Amino acid sequence: MFVLELTYIASMERVDAVLSDHVAWLDAHYAGGVFLASGRKDPRDGGVIIALGDDRTKMEEIAESDPFTVAGVAEYTITKFVATKTAAPLDQYRETLPS
């Protein structure tokens, strides 16, 4: 799994101008089975996405295709992690540490 953390680098006016395109981009990745959860940070200075996958390069490509990135209103920090414990509804995503 990956945590994709967005940080806004532009005014909220510029962020909001691209928001509907960003939501459509999110929807496409949910439909494709890549995104598991997402939402705004509080305070609203960016957002967080939990994504499924094991290919860092692919996650970087996904982040680069975000309309927020394309418009220059957000930057990403991408962190890979191994979900060794999960809540029951997420059991199917539980992982084991590599040997």
Mean pLDDT calculated for residue range 34-53: 97
Are residues 70 and 25 in contact, defined by beta-carbon separation less than 8 angstroms?
Answer: no
Chain segment 58-92, per-residue pLDDT in tens: 999 999 999 999 999 999 999 999 999 999 999 99
Mean pLDDT calculated for residue range 17-35: 98
Preceding omega of 89 cis (within 30 degrees of 0): no
Q: What is the pLDDT of residue 39?
A: 98
What global pTM score does this model have? 0.94
Q: What is the pLDDT of residue 79?
A: 98
Q: What is the pLDDT of residue 18?
A: 98
Neighbours of 51 (CB within 10 A): 20
